[in-house]
Chains A and B, each alone.
Chain A
Amino acid sequence: QVQLLQSGAEVKKPGASVRVSCKTSGYTFSKFGVTWVRQAPGQGLEWMGWVSAYNGGTNYAQRFQGRVTMTTDTSTTTGYMELRSLRSDDTAVYYCARDLWGSTADTWGQGTLVIVSS
């Protein structure tokens, strides 16, 4: 069955970077993309962007442009999300999800908690 397994929780200082991984299995990786969504504590869902596993093309939400990089590794069927210049309001659970075009995430990872604190 389709599964997405994310890396473990991270604690970072303001100004640092974080890289979250998303190991996929159970489907043809290159036929889909990976969407990233985050959720601050007690808050709603925020779409961050999408990366194609076919050609590496990306579509980022404007508010993250210049600060986020999403990539894939087809040899390991893994997606990655790097967020730089972290601030305290980046503290959130970050989810990856399988998504054909970036607009409909049909299977999600378990989430990765990123805490940004001095």
Chain B
Amino acid sequence: DIQMTQSPSSLSASVGDRVTITCRASQGIANYLNWFQQKSGKAPQLLISAASNLQSGVPSRFSGSGSGTDFTLTINSLQPEDFATYYCQQSYSSPYTFGQGTKLEIK
């Protein structure tokens, strides 16, 4: 199975900050990488597919990049509603494994 490792595991930031979350795959996965946001007690929401494809309705302050084994999720100008846990997931080969999550908290 492909292992997905996110860093950091947790992050404190302020409204208006720019933050970056990284995700590393244990082998090359081209651009087969999804990003999800999960708020407390809620279902995950797909933010980005294919490493950089922003889903409809997702604010443009979210962006994704990367290819191969290293990927990033960037959030520009953090808003209060962005404080949540973020997961990457490889969509390259089954089982489609997730990273362990990055919890973004208010500083």
Contacts and interface: CB of A to CB of B under 8 A. Distances in A.
Task: Decide if A and B are genuine partners.
Answer: yes
Interface of A: 37, 44-47, 59, 61-62, 95, 97, 102-111
A23 to B, nearest CB: 15
B95 interface: yes
Interface string B89-103: 101101111111100
Interface in B28-71: 32, 34, 36, 38, 43-46, 49, 55
A16 B55 CA distance: 39
Interface residues of B, number: 22
Given A47-B97, A59-B94, A103-B92, 5 more contacts: A45-B87, A47-B96, A97-B43, A103-B32, A104-B49
A97 B46 CA distance: 11
A57 to B, nearest CB: 13
A61 B95 contact: yes
A103 B44 CA distance: 14
B41 to A, nearest CB: 9
23 contacts: A44-B99, A45-B38, A45-B87, A45-B98, A45-B101, A47-B97, A47-B98, A59-B94, A61-B95, A95-B44, A102-B94, A102-B96, A103-B34, A103-B91, A103-B94, A105-B44, A106-B46, A107-B46, A108-B44, A108-B45, A109-B43, A110-B43, A111-B43
